[in-house]
Amino acid sequence: ALVSMRQLLDHAAEFSYGLPAFNVNNLEQMRAIMEAADKVNAPVIVQASAGARKYAGAPFLRHLILAAVEEFPHIPVVMHQDHGTSPDVCQRSIQLGFSSVMMDGSLKSDGKTPADYAYNVDVTRTVVNFAHACGVSVEGEIGCLGSLETGMAGEEDGVGAEGVLDHSQLLTDPEEAAQFVKDTGVDALAIAIGTSHGAYKFTKKPTGDVLRIDRIKEIHARIPNTHLVMHGSSSVPQEWLAIINEFGGDLGETYGVPVEEIVEGIKHGVRKVNIDTDLRLASTGAIRRFMAQNPKEFDPRKYLAASTVAMRDIVIARYEAFGAAGMA
Ligand code: G3H
Ligand code: 13P
Ligand code: NA
Ligand code: ZN
């Protein structure tokens, strides 16, 4: 059944687990997520970015997700709009049937320029007002995502602030987070605690403590009833990087957020964990390898099936690690 995000995250908080939220753009990602959720009996959050809506078209995405609900009626599914850049964008998604929206007012409507607090409150409160009237949950964001190592937002295109940010912008201030929740009434809050979007998060192999767990604790203590969201949570599996590079790819050395650190974050109030890059890497690696090993094959279903299996295994691993298996 299609459910709101609030319903799933309240359950996650009650039973102290975290839910991965996967970005979807196509059939194979959707199938991989549902097959995994079905296998381990986990609830599903799938989210569509502006890039996804541009690629597949909002109606195709909507029907893709509704098809999943139809085929897997026993699995609760949240249809979430990721990184909305304005109240208009969120309103359109609600009209299309999304059960949850993110109003990312940490950035201006260009999705690049860091916005001030008053702007963020204004646009987010507007969305909360009309979304809650329709039973739709709202995720807001306070603080700008970016690497504490480089100050860069991470994504070269797409979502994220442009240019180099200073340290104070890269970490959510607990006092400001509490005030923001009071001023807006959001159900879930994305916080900046050391992660960034995309594959290039860290240039050196993390030796523990890439996440600011201390900061998560401080924020959670002030707003215990608001579900914390961690964007940029891909772990950048080294085995898939190696496979991509072995079969003709050319990705540089890079590291993501270790799964154990995400699990530590979940212990301290993180409930929604956004993952996109890991499925992209697994999918690309599986397709590259399949093509190289099966040079006579030209049926796209064959290499796409290989990509679905690769993505499904990552989804299963995250459900299990985050404690969401068995919770559907
Ligand atoms: O938040 C960023 C997600 O990874 C979506 O990326 O804009 O390329 O679809 P995208
Ligand atoms: P990754 O790029 O780390 O997968 O993060 C995705 C994300 O935060 C989507 O909103
Ligand atoms: Na989101
Ligand atoms: Zn994000």
Render pLDDT for 257-308 as a digit per residue (tens, 0 to 9).
999 999 999 999 999 999 999 999 999 999 999 999 999 999 999 999 999 9
Reduce the DSSP state of residue 172 to 3 states and report it: coil
Q: Indicate which atom in ligand 2 lies nearest the CA of residue 280.
A: 4
Let me know if 82 is a catalytic residue.
yes
Span 44-50, mean pLDDT? 97
Nearest C-alpha to atom 3 of ligand 2 is from which residue?
232
Q: Indicate which atom in ligand 1 lies nearest the CA of residue 155.
A: 2
Residue 117's closest CA among 167, 72, 159, 180?
180
Decide if pLDDT at 207 tops 90. no
Burial of 66 (0-12, 13-18, 19+ CB in 10 A): middle
Q: Indicate which atom in ligand 2 lies nearest the CA of residue 278.
A: 4
Span 104-108, mean pLDDT? 95
258-289 b/e (C-beta count within 10 Å ≥ 16 → b) = bbebbbbbbebbbbbbbbbbbbbbbbbbbbbb
Decide if pLDDT at 159 tops 70. no
Chain segment 28-41, per-residue pLDDT in tens: 999 999 999 999 99
Nearest C-alpha to atom 9 of ligand 2 is from which residue?
274
Span 313-318, mean pLDDT? 98
The CATH number of the domain covering residues in 5-321? 3.20.20.70
Reduce the DSSP state of residue 271 to 3 states and report it: strand
State whether ipTM is beyond 0.85: yes
User: What pLDDT score does 154 carry?
Assistant: 64
Is residue 51 in contact with ligand 1, taking CB distance under 6 Å? Answer: yes
What does the alpha-carbon distance between residue 66 and residue 49 come to, in Å, rounded to a whole number?
Answer: 17
Nearest C-alpha to atom 10 of ligand 1 is from which residue?
51
* DSSP category for residue 112: S
Q: Which of 135-149, 200-214, 273-287 has the highest mean pLDDT?
A: 273-287
Catalytic residue among 10, 38, 82, 183: 82
Hey, CA dihedral for 166, 170, 174, 178, is it positive or negative? Answer: positive
Span 104-112, mean pLDDT? 93
Query: Hey, what long-range contacts does 291-297 have (CB within 8 A, 24 or more apart)?
Result: 291/247, 292/247, 292/248
Report the residue count for the chain: 328
What does the alpha-carbon distance between residue 185 and residue 103 come to, in Å, rounded to a whole number?
Answer: 12
- pLDDT range class, residue 160, cuts 50, 70, 90: low
Two structure tokens written together for 121: 């409150």
Is residue 52 in contact with ligand 1, taking CB distance under 6 Å? Answer: yes
Decide if pLDDT at 97 tops 90. yes
Half-sphere exposure of 312 (CA within 13 A, CB side): 18
User: What pLDDT score does 231 carry?
Assistant: 97
Ligand 3 center–CA 189 separation, angstroms: 9
Query: Which residues sit with their C-beta closer than 6 Å to ligand 2?
Result: 23, 82-83, 197-198, 231-234, 274-278
